[in-house]
Structure formats: C-alpha cells, structure tokens
Structure 1
Amino acid sequence: MLPPSIKTMLAALAQATDPKAHAAQLQRFGRALLERPDDAAALLAQTAESAAAARGDEERMSQLLGTALDEARMARENGQRRGALFIEGLETRLGELVASNALTLKGSLTVSGTWARAGLPSPAILAARQDAFTEAMEDGEDPVDLETLLDGLIGSLTREHGGNVSALHALFAEMLPTVPSEARRVLVRLAVARPQEIFAELGCAWLLDPDAEIRSGAVEGLSDRLAAGTAFPEMLARLTILRSWLADAALRDRLDGLVRMALRKGVAGPTKAPEHKLHRIVASLVDGSGAQSMAAAVQTRDTPSVAVMLLKQGFGVKDAYVLPCDSATEQRRILATLTDEIEAQDVPRAYMEQALGLALGEGLEAGLAPMPGLVDVAQSCGLDDLRPLSASVEATLALADPEGRVADLTVQARGRLITASQHWPDAYPVLESWFEDSDETLEALESAKSHATLTRNMWRVLEDRRAHWTALIARNALLLRAVGSDHAKEFIAVAAALKDGRDIKKTPVMKFICEQSIMVWLDRQDEPDGLFDAGSDMPPTASSMAPANWSMPDATAETAGELAKLLHPAGLTEPWLEGYLTGICTAPLFVTPSDWLTPLLHIVGPSLKAEKDLTRFVNLLMPRYNETLTRLRVPDENLIPIDIPLIPIWADGYLTAWEATKPSWPAKALGPKGKTIRKALEQATEGQIDPTVFQVTLPVWLRERFAEQKM
C-alpha cells in the first residue's frame, strides 16, 4: 500500500495539466521524497510489484520516483551524503523485492527505466531475474531462435521510433539491465550486426556505455558487420572520431584494429557528408554545481530535430540526445520550452564545439566516457571534428582570451575588473545557484559557535574549493566572450587571479558566494530558534554584496598618518583613496554610503587583521568623504594631486570607484566627453599623462559632474 503522502502527491500530479505547473510540482515532490526515504521505498515497492496499474498511474509513479532519484543523484554529486544514502537505501529495498520474487517483469523494466532516466546506472540486482526471455538468450543454442527473439523485440522498437538512434538507445537502456551480463553481450552483438545502418550507429553509441559487457558486444557486432560486408563508410568515419573520446585504452586498441581491417577491405570514409544546418544554438551559463545545458535546432536534409546536451564540471558530458521533430513549428516549440527553463544565451557553433571539447577532455581526465547519446548529437549537428580539449583553467582562459588582452592589462586595470565582479549577481540570475551546500560545508557551519567563526569556517571551505570556482568562472568567461558580452573581461580577470592564488577574501564575487552559502544554510535550518538569526547581524545577499541599511558610525578625530597606516597593508595610499572618493562624489547618479563602502571594504578589509583596525578605518572614511564634497564645492580647491607621480595612483582610485559603482555611471549621462575623460584616466594609470587634461579639463569636468549629480 502506498502511504498517504505518496497518494496525495500522485493525485496532485494527476490534476496538474499545465506542463510548467506539473514540472514544478514534480520537482517539489521529488525533493520532499528525498527527505522521506521510507515513503520512497514504499513507492518503489508498488512500482516493482505493479502488473496491472493504470497507464497514467504507472507513469506518474515512475516520474515521481525518478525525480526523487534525480535529486538524490545531484545531491550525491555535490558532496551530500544524504543523496548516496537515499540511493543505497532504495537499491537495498529493491534487492529485498527480488529475493522475495515480488519484482514482476513489467516492474523490472519500469524500475530500470526509472533509474536510467535519473542518470543512474540501473541496479545490478535487476539482472538476477530469470524470466523466459533472458533464459532463452543465455541458454539457447540455435542462433535462429535468438534472431527470432531479437526480431520481435527490435521490430516493435523500430516501428515505434523509426530511425532515431537516441530513442532506440534509450529503450535498450531500460531493457538491457534486466538481462544477465553474458546474455547482454550476446544480445548487443546480435543487434549491432543487423544490416540496417541504424544498428551500426547504435553500436557506436554502445561503445561509450559504462557496462564492459555492452562495450564488448558492440565491438564484436561491428566486427561481424565488417565480415558480412555491411560496414558503411559512415561507420568508419564515426569510429575514427569516437576513439579519441574513449577512456578505455584496451577498447581503443580494439577499435584501431577494426579500422585497419576496414581499410584493408576497402571501406573508405563517406565521400559526401549530409548537410547539417544549425538554425539556432543556445547555452546556459554554468551554475554553482558546474552544470550547463545546451540545445541546438538542427536540420538534416529535410528532417528537423533538437539536439540537447548537459555538461557538468568534474564529469564531462552528463547527457546528450536528439529529439526528432515532425515540423519546424514543433522544433521551435521544443527549443522555446528548453530556453524557458534556463538562462539561455544564443551562441555560435564554434562555442558549442569548444564547450563539448572541454567536457570530453574533462571526462577523459576523470576516466569517464561521455554519454552514448553524444554520438547521435555529433552526427546530427555535423560535428565531425569534435575532439577532447584540455579542460585546465589555463587552456580555458586561452580560449576565452586568445590574444591575452586581459593578461596584458596593468595590475590596476585588472584589479578594477575584479572589483566589478560585485555586480555579477545583479546581472546574472544564475548566481542565485552559486553557493556551497556539501556535507563538508554543513559540518563547518554547524560547528560554528559565533558569527565570526561561522564566516571563518565558510572561508576555509571556499579555499578548499578554489579550483572548482576558478574553473567555473573560467567556463563562464568563455561563454560570455562567445556572445560578445562586455563582462567577459571581468570573468577572465577573476578566474586568472584565483588561479594565480589571489586571496579569495579580496575577490568580491567570492565574498558573495561566502555570504550566500551561509544564508542558504540558515534558510534550511529546521529549528526556528537556531544559533543565528538570519535577520539580525547577517548581511543580505539577494542582489549586491552590500548591506542594504548600513548607517555610517560617528568618527572621532584623525591623527596624523593614521589613515595612511591603515591603507598600507592593502598596498594603497591616501592619493588612491582621494581618487576613489572623488569618483564616488562625481558619479552621474548619487551613490549611497553602503554602495561605495562595501567594495572599498572588499579591498582594504582583508588586510586589516584586527577588528578594531577595521572599525577605525570605517570611522575615518566619512570625514574624508565630507572633505571631498567640500573641495568640489569650492572653485579654487585642488581636486587632483599636484605631484605628477601621484596622478596615476589617484586615477586608479577614481577608476576603481567607477567600476565598483557601475550602475551609477550610465553611458547616456556621461556622453562623448565622459568617454574621453575615461580614456585619459586609463592612460594615466599607465603613466601616459596629458598635463592639459589633468590641470584644466578634468577639474572642470569633475565639478560639472558633481553639480549635475542626480539622486
């Protein structure tokens, strides 16, 4: 019997006729089941034992169980032990069902498909069943009988799904785990050896299967095709590409032998490849777990389709398949549905090849083959030259900045780009997913006894995860460069700095990740009266990294050299701070203290080890800010250092303020003159100083900007 909670979920899903509402409910229920393993086990038992459930009920049960498994898989991949325990618990329950003969043949196929659709290898225990079909496959001595059985199975599949390799592979993926391993190899070999070309394509896909028996059967079937004279030239071309995707060296050697034999028999590559037209390619930004989705609207001859890919950092190509379409209208509808689910960017073909190449390379480094559906995707999209690329951060940044323009910038210019990363959360909603929630994170935060140790522990976790975030930012840099975004340089600069060991506490976006990780943890606490109150002393992280309602503390008198001493550990000087404050006071739109103080603290704060020094630094800023306002109001006051060597330092401070408060500097308000001033400031930071600009033009412009500043 199903528990009441499962019945309620199934009833709600039956009533959710809108696809979006249905998907949202399904995800919510899947997450709820992850916290209720006993209910999930009861659902599994009902699914496994069911032999006569109504089709709709059976489908909803499989969807619900599959969604819970998918949530568990993602949790496991993200370092959460609860995901692994959930999957292990269900597989243990499945073993009990098999041992008690409660698993029906229909239930076995349903369970296998549910695991497969969740991106999990089907439980090996499913192959322990001995039904008539598997016994015939394993013990039958007459090849004709085996062929007859296979004809019946394959005939129904091909009639229903035509020539779509992805669909055929998906259906076999549900059925094969229920077959004993040796019979599985024989079945695959017989299927691949069938004369139609689609089975050669299926054999190539099976070469990427994680099951060694399936891979062996595929190689043997392809060899049988060669012996029978049914090895198509396209098959040879596909094998040549495929070998570079394989992590299994022994399998590569077998393929090389197969290719050499084909060449000796006179099987050459295709003389003319079919035309592949890519109407549109979209890709999401990389989320906090390292996942990225891509889709392409493809036209092969007169057949429209949509190729879908899922890449994940640390795993490579996690999923890939082709959805056939009956018409261009259906193709557009499918692509629109996919783009509604992701923060989609239109990307060129070259980017898709680069992203897939990086994922292939990363998978090989981890000893993981890509998903078999990538063969179908590569064929549909005409990616004949798809090869693994080095997935190192250095290699990714070289693709994102091939001319090294960001690397050639001055230290100050790169610093301004890094400071600008504080605005990424406002520009890219995907940053809502940029947080840590692994078991290591939970343990670190739960062990904290104060707000100070809470933050310190979180920084320690992030330092251990530096490589993850560096690679993730570099991959986003590559995407943004491909779409021509001005933010690409910022992502390149941040990734390069983190790679080179920059203090993560001095990197605004890492500050955001730190704060957001803490906030996510606080939100998930079961106890409302926990150790920390999210509304009291924790800064909000919904948009920028600045606390929204900070009031400036009262400042006592500054002693000579006191501020310079506090700036020194960060490598800054008073002229730099004067430039920064002048920039704040002359922005076209008024900058609130919280909006200019927070980025300044990102720069200076990490170098001030003592809490009292940080407090004192903040106390001294408002008087300096007020002094800057006074100088701007008085016509004869110097706004820019008189000493020429100090001008580059002052200009760098001004430009840092400009970048740190970019929303307050709309291009329309600045006009052509503003662009000219900006260029002069940038040149000054490199030592190219125009005396006329800094003695005459710039002071006038600064006072004009101050007078025209709008709230």
Structure 2
Amino acid sequence: MASAIMEQAPELALDLPDLMVAENGKKRPNQGLLTAFGFMLGQGIEVLRYGLDRASPDAAATVAELERRLLEMGRAGRLDPALLLVVLQHYGAAKLPPGDGLRELMAGLMERAEEFGRQPQPGAGPGAHFADLVRETGGDPFLIHGEMARFGHALPEEHRTAMAHAGLNAEQAAMREAGIGWLLDEGAMVRAAALDSLAGLAENGAISPVMLRRLIFLRNWLPEGERPGLDAVVQTCRRKDVTCAPLPQATIVDVAASGIDGAGAQSFFVLVKEGRKHAVASLLVKFGAGIPDAWVQHGLSKREADAFLMRIEQEVELFDASAPHLAAVLAHFLAIGLEAGKAPPFGLLDFVETAGLSAVNPGRVSVDGLIGSLLEAIPPARRKPASANKAVKASALWAEDYAFTDHWFEDDEDVNQALSAKKRMSDAKRMDLLLADILPARRLRWAEIIGWTAALLRQEEANEDWPAFALVAAELRGDRPLAEIPVMARIAWASVEAWKHRGGGKRGQGRS
C-alpha cells in the first residue's frame, strides 16, 4: 500500500522528515510510527531515484527540495545524528548518493555529538567498535563491509577515507579482509587510501592468502588507471612468498534467472551446496548501470534454501539458466559498469566465490555479436525470411507465455514530453507518435534486451521459443518498420499506459 502511494506521489516524501522529527522529539516516541514513516520515506526515495534514472525534472526538483529541507532542519538544530543517519541509510538502500551538503551535515552532527550509538567517529579509536562488529557478524568480511559501507554512505569522502585506513590497519584479521571492499568505493580518494594501506600491509607480510586471491580477482574490476597500484601490491605479496588461496569447492545445485524487465534489470539466483549446508547467491544486473547488487545467504538448510527460492518464484517468473551463461552475463555487465564509472558491489566477490566461478573479467558482448551467435545456433531452414516473418507475428503473443514482457515499456522525460505536447490525443495516436518519433532511436536497446532474453531462454532444455526472440532481435537491427513488429507496438501501448498511470493523461504536463 505504502509503495503504491509513494509511486503515485513521491513528493509526499518531502513531509516525512518533519513528521519523523516531531515524533522523535516527544517524551515517548511511538517507535512503530517512526518505523512506518521511515519505510514510507525509503519507498519515496526509491521512486525518486527511479525518476532520476529516467532524467525526470520533477524527480530532480523533488530530490533537491528534500535535501534543502533536511539541511535547513539540520542547521536549525532539529535533526540529531541518529535520525539523519536513518534518512541517509534510506538513500543508500535506494542507491541514491546523498548530496555533499547532507554528508557534511552528517559529519558535523557526529562531531558535535558526545556519543553516537555504537558507531565510531572517524579517527576516534575504533578498536572496540571493530571487535563488536566482528563478533556480531561472525567475522564475515562481506557482512562487516556491508555495515561499514552502509554507515559510510552517509559521510563525506574524507571520512570514508579514514574508515578505510582504520579498517585495513585494524588488529582484527576479519576487518582487514573486509577492508578490501573500499577498493570499490565511489570515491577516488577512498580507493587510493585503500591501495596505500594495502601496500603497507603487503610490505609487512600482513595480507593473507584469501586476501591475495580476492585482490587478484577484482583487479580488472577497478578503473584501468588504478590497476598498476594493485599489481604492485600483488607483486609484493609474491615477493614475500604469500600463497594464493584456492577457491572454495562449490557444488552448484541450480541456476535460475528472472526475465529482463522494462528498466533493463535482471536477477540471477544460484543454489549452492556448501558441505551439509546450502547457500543462495543473488545477482542483479542492469543495462546501462552494470551490477548494482550482489549478495549471498549462507548457512541454510536444504529446506530453508528451497523455501527461500520458492518465495522468490512466487513473486518473480524464473527460468532455468546455466553457469556458463551466468559467467557471460557477469563479464558483460562488469564491462557495462566500468564504462558507466560504476564499480560493482563488494558482495560480488562473495557471489563469485560461492558459485565457484573462476576469475570473471569484464568482457562486453556487442549487440550484433550476441545476435549473430544466436542466429548461428538456429538451423538454416529456420533463419529464412518466412521464419522471421512468423517470429515477428508471434511476438504479439509473447506476453501470454512470458509475463515479464508485459512490463516492457519506455518511461522517461523524452516520452513524457512527446506525449504531453498535445493535450487532446487518442491513445492510438500516442502509440503512433512513439513508434514514429521515440522508439526508432531505441531500436538498439530493444534488440539488446530481446537478444539477451533469447540467450536466457536458450538455456532452458525444452524451450522452443528462443529462436523467435533471436529473429525478432535481428529484425530490430534491420529496417523493418516498428509498426510492423507487434512487440514494439505493444511496448508503445505499455508506454502510453505507464505515462497515464503517472498522471500524464490527467493534466497537461504528466509526471514522467
């Protein structure tokens, strides 16, 4: 319910910090109400981040106003560090970086506070906190870094730099192992500090065999200019006779993947047997963004793992995949992320190790290369023009068998402006407008999405539809008019419906 409300009116997020501050200031704050306000704020921020992805000026204006109000409240002394941290952690959960002003405000509030929960003030003797964190996480470096990064997301780059230095020079081995994650921070200063600390550890022989393996693994995940520094660390380790730990033995039980949604996002789930226990590893990839998220749930019984995957399948349509297909997807989206200047999450190392994948390096697959490899796998008799025509015609019915294609649509500011240009226009004419003026420039994007969909469906042993998807992707790389490709007409129709859903059909300037 809250998600639907915030999706319709994300600007409601503007009032929630005031409500949270008012409730928090009471003698006996209602924790349930505070949690509800926080949840709604998180939902609103996520919707706004989605709007920013679509270059929505409405979303950009709302985010700017939210930050302005938070800064005003902070400067007026109405925000305490704990409450602001909650707000900024919602920014982190939504993958929306807070502005520098909010991070500076957070740092200033922390410095003025005499005591702030169990979080350390950067540079203020974090040993006791590190010991607590290691104990609470069972020494899992990925959980440790997740906690540190969740907190660090709210702080300026120089504070995260101090956190990286402190973690990598901690006396606890688990903290040092977790410190590798700072190499993937968004801030160049943080990454440089992490490399500098690792160089010192290498000289002192304090890099473990597992750390060395992980450094080698993520070497090509770094910006090209930062790789020589990591190479020097690895060379020092080898000079010090540090052996590289082998990958843990992994027995993959199952690999499944969702379809690709209209935003270009796709999830993978890998069920792995780890001794007597099981693990579920999850990966999120996204066109144009790379790899936004990766995590692993370890220590599950077979029953717990099966129940976990069953819950996912109740919410998302899943398809059989394979380890080779997963490796190809990983390599492709690592390259996409590097090109976009977005590092993968540290949890990707946990995912790769758990799945037993050998070194995964960035390797972009061109759209034409992808489609070409798919066409080569189709018997020549099924690649003739008559087969292509049949596949194109059949695309009208894809949504009946593949529900995720029902969510294929365009929803950005260009679409909003095109559809809002004329107040009186039938839906049919709006569809024609998109097919003529907007979608032609996006043929490559949809050829790529449909091509990767074909590659996924090809992994299913009994699937007979993947050649049709491949043929339609090939047609999109040709000159067949979009109006003659039913799936593109359906995408145009769904785009109009999405625009109307966001208010476009009710006012002259619809929300994008």
TM-score range, shorter chain: 0.7 to 0.9
Deviation at 1:360?
Answer: 0.9
For 1:96 and 1:148, locate their aligned partners in 2 and report how far apart those are by CA, in whole Å. Answer: 28
Aligned residue number for residue 647 of structure 1 = none
Are positions 1:209 and 2:203 aligned together? no
Q: How far off is 1:353 after superposition?
A: 1.5
Residue 487 of structure 2 corresponds to residue 482 of structure 1: no
Distance 2:53 2:337 in 1: 14
**Aligned 8 A contact 1:281 1:296 in 2:** yes
* Larger mean Cα displacement after TM superposition, 194-203 or 215-224: 194-203
Q: Distance in 1 between matches of 2:333 and 2:282?
A: 14
1:382-531 matched pairs, under 5 angstroms: 382-398=356-372, 400-401=374-375, 403=377, 405=379, 409-448=383-422, 449-451=424-426, 453-459=429-435, 460-484=437-461, 485-525=463-503
**CA contact under 8 A between 2:247 and 2:353: conserved in structure 1?**
no
Q: 266, 289, 301: which is aligned to 2:241?
A: 266
Aligned partners of 1:32 and 1:46: how far apart in 2?
Answer: 25
Q: Distance in 2 between matches of 1:229 and 1:384?
A: 26
Matched letter for residue 97 of structure 2: P
Match of 2:93 among 117, 120, 125: 117
TM alignment of 1:122-521, pairs within 5 A: 122-124=98-100, 125-130=102-107, 149-194=125-170, 196-246=172-222, 248-270=223-245, 272-398=246-372, 400-401=374-375, 403=377, 405=379, 409-448=383-422, 449-451=424-426, 453-459=429-435, 460-484=437-461, 485-521=463-499
Deviations 1:186-208 (A, max 9, x none): 22112123355533442332211
| One-letter identity of the residue aligned with 2:199 | S
Question: Residues 449-499 of structure 1, C-alpha deviation per residue, up to 9 Å, x if partnerless?
Answer: 544753332111111222221111111111111123211101111111212
In 1: Cα distance, 2:259 partner to 2:253 partner: 20
Structure 1 233/401 Cα, relative in aligned 2: closer, same or farther at 3 Å? Answer: farther
Which range is displaced more, 399-408 or 498-507? 399-408
Aligned residue for 2:244, secondary structure, equals coil
Q: Is the 8 A contact 1:48 1:111 kept in 2?
A: no
Name the counterpart of 1:675.
none
Give the Å deviation of 1:82: 2.6
Name the SS of the counterpart of 1:465 in structure 2. Answer: helix
More deviation in 26-35 or 436-445?
A: 26-35
| Cα separation, partners in 2 of 1:115 and 1:455, compared to 1, 3 Å | closer
Relative to structure 1, the CA distance from residue 391 to residue 43 in structure 2 (aligned partners, 3 Å threshold; closer, same or farther) is farther
8 Å contact kept, 1:436–1:517: yes
Q: Is the 8 A contact 1:292 1:311 kept in 2?
A: yes
1:510-659 to 2 correspondences below 5 Å: 510-525=488-503
Q: Distance in 1 between matches of 2:206 and 2:446?
A: 49
Paired amino acid for 2:47: E
- Residue deviations 1:81-117 (CA, integer Å, cap 9, x gap): 3332222221222221222232212113212221111
Q: 1:206, 1:218 within 8 Å by CA — same for their partners in 2?
A: yes
In structure 2, distance between residues paired with 1:51 and 1:401: 69
- Partners of 1:498 and 1:380 in 2: how far apart? 38
Distance 2:108 2:275 in 1: 43
> Aligned-residue CA RMSD in angstroms?
3.0
Task: Report the secondary structure of 1:482's partner residue.
Answer: coil
CA–CA distance in structure 1, aligned partners of residues 3 and 265 of structure 2: 17
Measure how far apart 1:242 and its partner are. 0.9
Q: Secondary structure at the match of 2:283?
A: strand
Amino acid at match of 2:152: L
Residue identity opposite 1:470 in structure 2? A
Distance in 1, Cα, partners of 2:275 & 2:112: 43
Pick the structure with greater CA Rg. Answer: 1
Q: Which of 314-323 and 413-422 deviates more? A: 413-422
- 2:415 and 2:266 map into 1 onto residues whose CA distance is 23
Three-state SS of the structure 2 residue aligned to 1:298 is strand
Distance 1:44 1:474 in 2: 47
Amino acid at match of 1:307: A
Pair 1:39-2:15 in alignment: yes
CA distance in 1: counterparts of 2:252 and 2:3, whole angstroms = 32
How many angstroms apart in 2 are the aligned matches of 1:514 and 1:130? 47
Describe the shift of the 1:104–1:43 C-alpha distance in structure 2 as closer, same or farther (beyond 3 A). same
What's the CA shift string for 1:314-342, capped at 9, x where partnerless?
10101112223453333222222222221
Distance 1:299 1:370 in 2: 25
Shift in CA distance, 386/107, structure 1 to aligned 2, threshold 3 Å: same
| 1:4 matched residue in structure 2 | none
Q: Once the two structures are aligned, what percentage of the paired residues are identical? A: 27
Whether the 8 Å CA contact 1:134–1:180 is kept in 2: the answer is: no
Q: Could you tell me the TM-score, scaled by structure 1's length? A: 0.64
Instruction: From the superposition, tell whether residues 461 and 160 of structure 1 become closer, same or farther in structure 2 (CA, over 3 Å).
Output: same
Mean CA deviation greater in 479-488 or 389-398: 389-398
Shift, 1:529, TM fit: 10
TM-superposed deviation, 1:517? 2.1
What do residues 550-578 of structure 1 show as CA deviations (whole Å, max 9, x unaligned)? xxxxxxxxxxxxxxxxxxxxxxxxxxxxx
Q: Is the 8 A contact 1:295 1:309 kept in 2?
A: yes
Q: For 1:90, which of 55, 59, 66 is the aligned residue?
A: 66
Judge conservation of contact 2:13–2:40 (CA < 8 Å) in 1.
no
Q: How far did residue 167 of structure 1 move? A: 2.5
Provide the TM-score with structure 2 as the length reference: 0.88
2:116 aligned residue: none
Shift of 1:224: 2.8
Specify whether residues 364 and 526 from structure 1 end up closer, same or farther in structure 2 by C-alpha distance, changes over 3 A only: closer
State the shift of 1:290 in Å: 0.5
- Unaligned stretches of 5+ in structure 1? 1-24, 137-144, 531-711
Range moving further from structure 2, 288-297 or 374-383:
374-383
Q: Secondary structure at the match of 2:349?
A: helix
In structure 2, C-alpha distance between the alignment counterparts of 1:375 and 1:283, rounded to whole Å: 19
| DSSP-derived class of the 1:431 partner | helix
| Residues 440, 378 of structure 1: alpha-carbon distance in 2 compared, 3 angstrom cutoff | same
Partners of 1:134 and 1:54 in 2: how far apart?
27
User: Residues 112 and 303 of structure 1: is their aligned pair in 2 closer, same or farther, counting only changes over 3 Å?
Assistant: farther
SS at match of 1:282: strand
* Residues 307 and 157 of structure 1, relative CA distance in 2, 3 Å threshold: same
Deviation digits for residues 206-245 of structure 1 (CA, Å, limit 9, x no counterpart): 2111122332232223223212322122222222221212
Deviations 1:594-645 (A, max 9, x none): xxxxxxxxxxxxxxxxxxxxxxxxxxxxxxxxxxxxxxxxxxxxxxxxxxxx
Q: Give the letter for the 1:516 counterpart.
A: A
| SS of residue in 1 equivalent to 2:458 | helix
* Separation in structure 2 between the aligned mates of residue 54 and residue 314 of structure 1, nearest angstrom: 42
- Looking at structure 2, the residues matched to 429 and 198 of structure 1 have their Cα atoms a distance apart, in angstroms, of 44
Unaligned runs of 5+ in 2: 114-120
Measured in 1, the distance between the counterparts of 2:234 and 2:56 equals: 44
**Does the residue aligned with 2:126 lie in a helix, a strand or coil?**
helix
Report whether the alignment pairs 1:69 with 2:42. Answer: no
How far apart, CA to CA, are the structure 1 residues paired with 2:378 and 2:176? 44
- For residue 553 of structure 1, what is the aligned residue in structure 2? none
Residues 245, 387 of structure 1: 8 Å contact kept: yes
Aligned AA for 1:76?
L
CA spacing shift, 1:133–1:426, aligned 2, 3 Å = closer
